[in-house]
Chains A and B, each alone.
Chain A
């Protein structure tokens, strides 16, 4: 208990300091606004916010990022409810009942359910996160370099295999990410793929890769593909809703408790699996809720449970995704990968020892997640009318500002035009990759995990005098690698049956 308090008190003091509360407030507002913009998920919002963390401390940057991450997941549901356009992929299911409810004349009720359930999902999954994270990190401490290498390969097998429609393309993207991570100094004193270019000697900067692959394609899409897009708005003419009926009562909330609990559990479990993400969680939660319901035929007509389940689940993913990220250094989602990137650039190496060596930091994340959700509740309620206005900004007008923020963000890293050009090249490639269904999230995830995997492999080989068979025949390593092989086979089977 004394040990717990010795870490908890400084963590609480940090989280509740005025500076960090303000950072989290900014993060929540920024996350909601970016989440509202169609195409901009949490990962894109985080990518654009990366330059703002240059002057921040590690704890400040991480708290700022988890505020954005949580808020963007909620923000995505606002346009899904109001204009039938999900702001994030995870809010796609919310369209079914959220938009139907708004059409009936209850948009505020739908928004209240989305916000309230998102907050509950976030808090429940945070509690699970701290318990599961501590237990998993204890197991992780038993792992050596060869086991950690195998854990990395296992993470890649899930990321490559299940992020996208085709497993082959997903694995190809994973390979590209790993390859990009090898550019620059090798760690053995040599240089790789630098082609005598000075700007490649330090490798591809993480910020350039993240902004280039995640934010640039969205900006190009807004300026080119969506320039003639006309969004459908709700037509509530002829409905009988009043201000009194267009809100949630205490009884309504109580009725939704089982849905929220189920959604939280599903969201956390899905979040723990690398690569699964909020979209999978919300679909699973919606289907399970429909299965549990006594009136499944009402789903899709605008019922409370149809919004509560997916919204709880997609916010629960946030804390769930932090479990593998912090305990094993395997990001649970694209957003978690960026969070991992922020930590490594600030000198904090995620892994099993993080929970013992940086316990106060982990505690700050834990308390920060809860505080972020509470701030989100206050901001969400206070700005209900304002968020509706954000959905009215035409995409082709928004595009130039996003592009401006991208260029300024990339340039401000080292004030070099080369970084902007590199961002642009990566962005255009990613834009065309998305056109031919090559997923770009695995590239980012693999890029971040690449150096961890290579370092552990090299360490293991050095320990075993360069004997590959000795490295790969460790019992735990064999089990994890076999699991990776099974995952890859399942991914290819899913890929083949896709669309049949």
Chain B
């Protein structure tokens, strides 16, 4: 999906500004200062949020107002490519992998993660790509196991590989 760059910039800055306003309102729920006149929990965040809103206004003005606008002869015409489906697919695979780690174990989930992401990237027939991805995935599981579990002693949920190895 292609979006006009100017629209995308304004949309993103607008979203940041909206979040800043909501968070400013949220600061009123913070604990007040214990001593009158001294900084409380909300003191520093409010300064930052006001600063952010001022920057958002300046950045929007830079895009919208012709006088402040930089020479955007090339940029203005450009659009940005947003592949929401690809991002969504990768995000879904990452989230499923992270959640699956504790249920099916590090070995199977990591193997499946690499196969799912790598197979479409490999050239050749689907069967060949799948077989190649499976081989690479197996190697990746072994390397990560030795690196993180054996050497760095990270407490990964393992299904069948031993937690400690004695050489």
Binding site for B on A (CB under 8 A): 51-52, 54-55, 165-166, 168-169, 171-172, 175-176, 178-179, 182, 186, 188-193, 220, 223-225, 227, 394, 396-397, 399-401, 403-404, 407-408, 411-412, 415, 417, 420-421, 424, 428, 431-433, 435-438, 454, 457-458, 461-462, 465-467, 492, 495-500
The answer to whether A496 and B154 touch across the interface, beta carbons within 8 angstroms, is no
The answer to whether B71 and A457 touch across the interface, beta carbons within 8 angstroms, is no
The answer to whether B48 and A175 touch across the interface, beta carbons within 8 angstroms, is yes
The answer to whether A500 and B98 touch across the interface, beta carbons within 8 angstroms, is no
Q: Mark B148-167, 1 if CB is under 8 A from A, else 0.
A: 10001111110000000000
Inter-chain CA distance A435–B33, complex, in Å, is: 41
Q: Mark B58-89, 1 if CB is under 8 A from A, else 0.
A: 11011000001011100100001111001100
The answer to whether B9 and A436 touch across the interface, beta carbons within 8 angstroms, is yes
* 17 A-B pairs in the complex with CB atoms less than 8 angstroms apart: A51-B152, A166-B70, A175-B51, A178-B48, A182-B48, A186-B30, A189-B31, A192-B41, A220-B90, A400-B121, A404-B117, A407-B97, A420-B95, A458-B44, A466-B38, A495-B62, A499-B71
Inter-chain CA distance A220–B85, complex, in Å, is: 12
Provided the pairs A169-B59, A466-B35, A495-B70 are in contact, do residues A179 and B90 lie with their beta carbons within 8 angstroms? Answer: no
Inter-chain CA distance A190–B40, complex, in Å, is: 9
CB neighbours of B72 from chain A (8 A) = 499
Closest to B75 in A: A499
Inter-chain CA distance A173–B37, complex, in Å, is: 30
Binding site for A on B (CB under 8 A): 5, 8-9, 12-13, 16, 20, 23, 26-27, 30-31, 33-35, 37-42, 44-45, 48-49, 51-52, 55-56, 58-59, 61-62, 68, 70-72, 75, 80-83, 86-87, 90-91, 94-95, 97-99, 101-102, 110, 113-114, 117-118, 121-122, 140, 144, 147-148, 152-157
Closest to A156 in B: B51
The answer to whether A415 and B155 touch across the interface, beta carbons within 8 angstroms, is yes
CB neighbours of B33 from chain A (8 A) = 188
Provided the pairs A182-B45, A186-B41, A428-B87 are in contact, do residues A437 and B117 lie with their beta carbons within 8 angstroms? Answer: no
Which of A400, A415, A420, A499 sits near B154, CB closer than 8 Å? A415
The answer to whether A404 and B140 touch across the interface, beta carbons within 8 angstroms, is yes
Provided the pairs A176-B16, A404-B140, A417-B101 are in contact, do residues A52 and B91 lie with their beta carbons within 8 angstroms? Answer: no
Q: Secondary structure at chain B's binding surface: helix, strand, loop or mixed?
A: helix
Inter-chain CA distance A424–B61, complex, in Å, is: 31
Chain B: minimal CB distance from A256 (Å): 38
The 10 closest A-B pairs by CB, nearest first: A190-B31, A466-B37, A175-B52, A400-B117, A168-B59, A420-B98, A168-B58, A172-B55, A417-B98, A190-B41
Closest to B151 in A: A55
Inter-chain CA distance A190–B94, complex, in Å, is: 33
Inter-chain CA distance A51–B144, complex, in Å, is: 12
The answer to whether B39 and A461 touch across the interface, beta carbons within 8 angstroms, is yes
The answer to whether A424 and B44 touch across the interface, beta carbons within 8 angstroms, is no
Most interface-central of B23, B59, B148, B156 (chain A CB within 10 A)? B59
Closest to A222 in B: B121
Closest to A167 in B: B58
Chain A: minimal CB distance from B49 (Å): 7
The answer to whether B152 and A424 touch across the interface, beta carbons within 8 angstroms, is no
Inter-chain CA distance A286–B51, complex, in Å, is: 37
CB neighbours of A175 from chain B (8 A) = 20, 48-49, 51-52, 55
Chain B: minimal CB distance from A186 (Å): 4
For the A-B complex with A168-B61, A188-B31, A436-B13 known, give 7 more contacts whose Cβ atoms are closer than 8 Å: A171-B55, A190-B40, A192-B42, A224-B86, A411-B98, A421-B98, A500-B71
Which of A397, A424, A438 sits near B91, CB closer than 8 Å? A424
Which of B35, B75, B156 sits near A412, CB closer than 8 Å? B156
Which of B31, B70, B91, B113 sits near A428, CB closer than 8 Å? B91
The answer to whether B148 and A438 touch across the interface, beta carbons within 8 angstroms, is no
CB neighbours of A166 from chain B (8 A) = 59, 62, 70
